[in-house]
Amino acid sequence: MTEEDRLGPAGDAVYEALMKAHQGLSAEHSHALNARLVLLLSNEVGDATRLRELFAAARDMGFATDRREI
Amino acid sequence: MTDRYPPYPYTPPPGLGAPEPRHPVVIVGAGPVGLSIAIDLAQQGIRCVVLDDGDTVSVGSRAICWAKRTLEIFDRLGVGETMLAKGVTWQVGRLFHGEKQVWEFDLLPETGHKYPAFINLQQYHVERMLLERAHAFPDLIDLRFRNRVTDHAERGDHVELIIETPDGDYTLEADWYLACDGARSATRSRMALPFEGQSFEERFLIVDVEMPQSPFAVADRPERWFWFAPPFHEGQSALLHKQPDDIYRIDLQLGPDADPEVEATEERVLPRIRAIVGDTPFRLDWMSVYRFRCAMLDNFVHGRVIFVGDSAHVVSPFGARGGNGGIQDVDNLGWKLALVLKGEASSALLDSYDDERRHGARENILHSGRATNFMTPKSEMEALLRHEVLRLAETQPFARRLINSGRLSQPCSLDGRPLQTRGEAPIAPGSAMPDAPVVGKNGCRWLIEALQGRFVLLGVGGAVLPEVPGLESVIVGPRGSGAEVEDTEGLVEQRYGRGAYLLRPDGHVCAFFDTPQVEEVKEALARAKGGFL
Ligand SMILES: Cc1cc2nc3c(=O)[nH]c(=O)nc-3n(C[C@H](O)[C@H](O)[C@H](O)COP(=O)(O)OP(=O)(O)OC[C@H]3O[C@@H](n4cnc5c(N)ncnc54)[C@H](O)[C@@H]3O)c2cc1C
């Protein structure tokens, strides 16, 4: 998994675009959209080793029970 | 039509009257695996006794898909052509999600192979054909029906068996005991061997119907239909494909809570079939409800007891790897056991059967486990991801490849295993030999016919082969070259490149040489016979 910031100055715009993609969707549809995105992005990345690292890294970050910022 | 379940007569075995001389090999179980190993050994001049508790072939609908590699092995055993002639060769596969067809694909592989990617042929036909072939060796294969093995014990240099017959019990002694007694192997239980893996909760209904009128657009172009979430069968999956004799196999996923007693009844089954085939008249031929598991032994060789086929490993049927995997076990074990019995190899060679075939079984379990998991999502997220894969598949080629309704059995690669000499080659050491059309002076028409069944040094593309004592060499030359085997369409050279291949009797490449020298070929041959284990 890369430690490098690859989005750079486009970060804000990309984040906004992701929010827009979910805008107005029910939680159920947002879920479906995320699932679809993970599949599409997996194909974009294409490299099985990197994908496995990403899946593991995402999982290993754990899940906060305390989400005060929400 | 031939009798589907021909009776195999019981004759009182000699051992009931007086002790029999020790047998080199006793095979327990006359399923596809036990019969195939008996034929393989007989072809190498090895005698065996085959014991089976039944008196006919496998009853009902079990294995139907036989893969190309298996057919190539059956070819070597003298039954491949009979099976191909009787079997159904599929051509078109269709995948549906709900009402929609997601994908249609051509199942015919590249041309220039004697056998197609796979055929459908009922297990009872396969076993009958194997039995007919076994009868061609009356002096070598001693088939004994209604002979049930009830106990066995290893006695140092042999194994002792207790066998029950309608006329009472008797005892046999064997140098080698081949446990081909199937998924519920009593041999395995007696030895208290762990048989671990994954069990699936899901139940599946397996139905065979006889339907003279084809449901396919072009009647003589057999198709395979697979549905995820079929409109006629709430939320589950379904599969329809054709077998010989106008018999169609329909598999319906029932969910984990289905009651097999209730589901395997005409009242429940008939409406389900009508929902699939509509008004087409049909007759119910067989139905049963299954639950599947994937499991294997930690070790296939235990002293003088060798596990082969389902007794050693079981898989869920998605991808048709059970019987096909078992036939690859046979292919791997047959020549090794024959060499050991003839004193041409040490029994250490049998450890390579254990190593190579456990590797094969792990691969089969991995693939059929993945298919079963895809078909039976375990959580909401798994179900959602699968749903999205199916939707994306309508437009995205990558998503089509993620749809897993079973990955068909492929020949197992033995690359990197100790019998192979490492090296780079167009066909890497460890691979099963690819076929190609040829014309041989001995009348053979395919490369597999020319080469399988013994160690051979194969020269392609003008490679000069050294004389190696005790090793047969075969030169494949271009059309019109007058070579022993002519490469009529140039496909041998296209597939194998230029050089020399050392092939094992089971058709796996064990070494490759650009310009072979006697000493290195000898060394590779010794390695392949277990000389360096
Ligand atoms: C629904 C279903 C679909 C399948 N589809 C496929 C498919 O499409 N392709 C595929 O390759 N595989 C398929 N399989 C798997 C295939 O049927 C098995 O892998 C295959 O039968 C294994 O052969 P075997 O000879 O090892 O064991 P078996 O066929 O089980 O034979 C074992 C034999 O040993 C005998 N026996 C057992 N105990 C004793 C004893 N104590 N004494 C004497 N004899 C004994 C039995 O009577 C039997 O004849 C399917 C299985 C099922 C259930």
At residue A66, the pLDDT reads 58
Q: What is the pTM of this model?
A: 0.95
From B36, B123, B152, mutation site for ligand 1 pocket: most ligand atoms within 8 A of C-beta: B123
Count of Cβ atoms closer than 10 Å to residue B527 Cβ:
18
At residue A64, the pLDDT reads 75
Contacts of A8 (CB under 8 A, 6+ apart): none
Tell me, in angstroms, the distance from the centre of ligand 1 to residue B122's CA: 12
From B61, B62, B241, B330, mutation site for ligand 1 pocket: most ligand atoms within 8 A of C-beta: B62
Secondary structure of residue B239 in the 3-state scheme: strand
Q: Is A32 on the interface with B (CB under 8 A)?
A: yes
Task: State the amino acid at position B431 in one-letter form.
Answer: S
Rounded-to-integer distance, Cα B464 and Cα B478, Å: 14
Q: Which of A29, A36, A51 to mutate to test the interface with B (most CBs of B within 10 A)?
A: A36
CA B140 and chain centroid, separation: 23
Where on the phi/psi map is residue B468: left (φ > 0), alpha (ψ -120 to 50), or beta? beta
Give A7-59 pLDDT, tens digit per residue.
999 999 999 999 999 999 999 999 999 999 999 999 999 999 999 999 999 99
Token couple for B22 = 């020790």
Residues of B in contact with A36 (CB under 8 A): 388, 391-392
Is B399 in contact with A35 (Cβ distance < 8 A)?
no
pLDDT in tens, chain B (533 residues): 568 899 999 999 999 999 999 999 999 999 999 999 999 999 999 999 999 999 999 988 899 999 999 999 999 999 999 999 999 998 788 999 998 999 888 877 789 999 999 999 999 999 999 999 999 999 999 999 999 999 999 999 999 999 999 999 999 999 999 999 999 999 999 999 999 999 988 899 999 999 999 888 887 888 999 999 998 887 689 999 999 999 999 999 998 888 888 888 999 899 989 988 888 899 999 999 999 999 999 999 999 999 999 999 999 988 889 999 999 999 999 999 999 999 999 999 999 999 999 999 999 999 999 998 999 898 999 999 999 999 999 999 999 999 998 888 888 899 999 999 999 999 999 999 999 999 999 999 999 999 999 999 999 999 999 999 999 999 999 999 999 999 999 999 999 999 999 999 999 999 999 999 999 999 999 999 999 98
Q: Is A39 on the interface with B (CB under 8 A)?
A: yes
Is A39 in contact with B399 (Cβ distance < 8 A)?
yes
Helices (DSSP H) in chain A: which residue ranges?
Answer: 11-22, 27-45, 48-60
Rounded-to-integer distance, Cα B461 and Cα B446, Å: 17
Q: Is B384 on the interface with A (CB under 8 A)?
A: yes
Count of Cβ atoms closer than 10 Å to residue B18 Cβ:
7
Q: Which of B381, B385, B387 to mutate to test the interface with A (most CBs of A within 10 A)?
A: B385
Rounded-to-integer distance, Cα B357 and Cα B350, Å: 11
Is A39 in contact with B381 (Cβ distance < 8 A)?
no
Rounded-to-integer distance, Cα B174 and Cα B27, Å: 10
Q: Which residues of B378-416 are buried (b: 16+ CB within 10 A; e: fewer)?
A: eeeeeebbbbbbbbbbeeeeebbebbbbbbbbbbbbbee
CB nearest B398 (choices: A35, A36, A43): A43
**Among A residues 4-23, those touching chain B with beta carbons less than 8 Å apart:** none
Count of Cβ atoms closer than 10 Å to residue A64 Cβ:
9
Domain locations along chain A: 9-69
At residue B220, the pLDDT reads 80
A-B Cβ pairs (cutoff 8 Å, strict): 24
B83 class by beta-carbon count within 10 Å (0-12 exposed, 13-18 middle, 19+ buried): buried
- Assess contact for B508 and B430: CB atoms under 8 A: yes
Is A39 in contact with B388 (Cβ distance < 8 A)?
yes
CB nearest A32 (choices: B384, B396, B398): B384
At residue B10, the pLDDT reads 96
> Which architecture characterizes domain B14-87+115-194+296-366 according to CATH?
3-Layer(bba) Sandwich (3.50)
At residue B360, the pLDDT reads 96
Is A35 in contact with B384 (Cβ distance < 8 A)?
yes
Give A1-12 pLDDT, tens digit per residue.
888 999 999 999
Compute the C-alpha angle B345/B346/B350, nearest 5°. Answer: 95
B203-293: CATH class: alpha beta
Written as one string, the DSSP assignment of B269-327 is HHHHHHHHHTT---EEEEEEEEEEEEEEES-SEETTEEE-GGGTEE--STTS-HHHHHH
Q: Which residue bears the tokens 């290195």?
A: B520
Residues of A in contact with B398 (CB under 8 A): 43
Among the listed residues B124, B125, B106, the one whose alpha carbon sits nearest the alpha carbon of residue B116: B106
Among the listed residues B440, B471, B461, B432, the one whose alpha carbon sits nearest the alpha carbon of residue B71: B432
Tell me, in angstroms, the distance from the centre of ligand 1 to residue B343's CA: 32
Q: What is the dihedral of CA B399, B405, B409, B414, to 10 degrees?
A: 50
Residues lining ligand 1, CB < 6 A?
Answer: B 28-34, 51-54, 58, 62-65, 123, 148-149, 180-183, 186, 206, 290, 309-310, 317, 320, 322-324, 326
- Assess contact for B387 and B379: CB atoms under 8 A: no
**Among B residues 387-426, those touching chain A with beta carbons less than 8 Å apart:** 387-389, 391-392, 396, 398-399, 402
Q: Which residues of B430-469 are buried (b: 16+ CB within 10 A; e: fewer)?
A: bbbbbbbbbbbeeeeebbbbbbbbebbbbbbeebebbebe
The rounded radius of gyration (Å) of the Cα atoms in chain A is 14
Residues of A in contact with B392 (CB under 8 A): 36, 39-40
Secondary structure of residue B247 in the 3-state scheme: strand
Distance from CA of A33 to the nearest CA of B (A): 9
Residues of B in contact with A31 (CB under 8 A): 384
- Distance of CA B522 to CAs B31, B279, B324, B526, B531, Å? 38, 66, 32, 6, 11
Tell me, in angstroms, the distance from the centre of ligand 1 to residue B215's CA: 30
In the predicted model, what is the mean pLDDT of chain A?
A: 92
Domain locations along chain B: 14-87+115-194+296-366, 203-293, 439-528
- Assess contact for B348 and B533: CB atoms under 8 A: yes
At residue B309, the pLDDT reads 98
Task: Please check the confidence at residue A69 and state whether its pLDDT lies above 70.
Answer: no
Token couple for B453 = 């069944």
- At the topology level, CATH places domain B439-528 in Glutaredoxin (3.40.30)
Count of Cβ atoms closer than 10 Å to residue B516 Cβ:
23
Which residue has the CA at smallest separation from atom 21 of ligand 1? B323
Among the listed residues B215, B242, B238, the one whose alpha carbon sits nearest the alpha carbon of residue B89: B242
Rounded-to-integer distance, Cα B238 and Cα B375, Å: 10
Is B389 in contact with A43 (Cβ distance < 8 A)?
no
